[in-house]
Structure formats: structure tokens, C-alpha cells
Structure 1
């Protein structure tokens, strides 16, 4: 009985792994990790030097002191520069994902949907016109029969 339970657990695990969304999720995580390196490079190589032209090269150095003395580990410092850096990193990542992945894909899907609707629309028009022709033929046959019955 234990072997049967182990076998069913193994089968269930294999079925879980073979589901499409698990594989898609794994691919998304790997691509996301690789993409993070690109975004970090953009922030480190482009954004930080631009910010450095205004102030310091690293945003991590921006902070505010809440206590009277802030030297080294003493005092209460709020490291708002690192929060700003992380926020910029997030905004850049979101912008790149949107403009390079989401927007082109949504435009592509919209075009595909428009083509599908156009094909269905032409089929529908053809079906409606065929139906109308059949109705006209029926009406003509009915008219012929009734005209033939009127003659003695």
C-alpha cells in the first residue's frame, strides 16, 4: 500500500510539474533574474552618473539625521537615498517591461483580434447574403406554385 501511495504522489508531482503555468512561471523567474542584471547595469551605468552630475554618484549617500549627532554608527539616520535608488530601479524596470514587452504584445494581440473579427465579419456577411438568396428562391417557388394553382 505504501508503494501505491508513493506512486500516486509521484504521479501527482509529475502532473503538477507538467502543467503549462508551472513551466511558464519558471521561465518568467529565470528571464526576470536575467533582466534584473540589465536594469541594474542601466541604473549603475547611466542613472547614477546623471544623478552624480547633480550631487553624489551613489544615491546610497543621501540621508538625513534625526538626532543631534550623526557620525558613523552614532545617531539616527534615515537612508532615503537607498530608497530613492530602489524606487528608480523599480520605475525603470517597470518602464522597460511595459515598453519593450507589454505594449508590443498587446498591440500584436489587438491586431490578431482585429484580423479574426474581420474574417468572422466577412463570413457572417457571406452567410447572411446566402440566406437572403435562399429566401428569395423560396419566395419565387411559392409564387410559382400559387400562380400555377390559380389557373384552371
Structure 2
């Protein structure tokens, strides 16, 4: 039982996943800081974010009370998600892709000769056998 657990833990995938979770937690703080310090003030220039909780569809409940479905909170969450996604894409993904392209251009891959597939070998053997019989 412990041997199987040891093999599971020592696999590279588990360590990679653990590192990704830790880095993701730290990365979240950076992304949230960029969004709260740059994106949210830009949005506030055009839209009052504090009033979004008051936007909604009012209806009357079964017992006569007024119930409001706060659609403004949903809109705020969507705007926040899109802001975070844009920041992650333009600040981190695009530069990393450019970096990878430059590295690939500096170090072109050397194509290794590919071996014939099993089917190609069988066809070749069949053709040789036919040639020998004729």
C-alpha cells in the first residue's frame, strides 16, 4: 500500500500539479491587484460599480414581500471575470507566446527520421513475398 503511494507521489505529474496550485494562488494575488488597481478604476470612469446591487427585477413573493433578483451583481461578476481574463491574456499569455516563438526561432527543432508504421511494414513484406513467388 505504501509502495503504491510512494510511486504515486514520486511521479512528476503530482509534483507539477502541486507547484501549479501554489503558483496559481500567488498568481491570483497579482491578477487581482492589477484588476483592482487599473481595470476597476477605468470601469468606474463610465459605470458606478457600487450601485449594481440595487439593479434588479422586483417581484412580489407568495407572502406579499417584495423580492429583487439582483441582476446588477451578476453583471458586476461578469465584468470582473472579463477584466481578469483580459488582464491574464494580454499581460501574461501574449508575451509568453511571443517569448516561446522567439525561442523556437532561435532553436529550430531537428526532425527525427520517423520509422515506418506497422501497416507499412506489413505491406512491404507482402509485396516482397509476391515478388518472390512470381
Q: Same fold (TM over 0.5)?
A: yes
TM-score normalized by structure 2? 0.63
Q: Does 1:90 align with 2:90?
A: no
Deviations 1:108-147 (A, max 9, x none): 2353235x46xx8xxxxxxxxxxxxxxxxxxxxxxxxxxx
Indicate the larger mover: 75-84 or 60-69: 60-69
Gaps of 5+ in 1: 1-8, 121-152
Which one has a larger percent helix, Structure 1 or Structure 2?
Answer: 1
Q: Does 1:62 align with 2:57?
A: no
2:9–2:15 Cα contact (<8 Å) kept: yes
1:32 corresponds to: 24
Q: Give how far 1:75 is off.
A: 1.6
Considering Cα pairs closer than 8 Å and 6+ residues apart, tell me whether 1 or 2 has the greater RCO: 2
Gaps of 5+ in 2: 61-65, 113-134
Q: Give how far 1:68 is off.
A: 5.9
- Give me the whole-angstrom Cα distance separating, in 2, the residues matched to 1:23 and 1:50: 39
2:70 corresponds to: 77
TM alignment of 1:1-152, pairs within 5 A: 9-56=1-48, 58=49, 61-62=51-52, 64-67=55-58, 74-78=67-71, 79=73, 80-114=75-109, 116=110
- Give me the whole-angstrom Cα distance separating, in 1, the residues matched to 2:17 and 2:40: 32
- Give me the whole-angstrom Cα distance separating, in 2, the residues matched to 1:28 and 1:104: 20
Structure possessing the higher radius of gyration over alpha carbons: 1
- Give me the whole-angstrom Cα distance separating, in 2, the residues matched to 1:27 and 1:106: 25
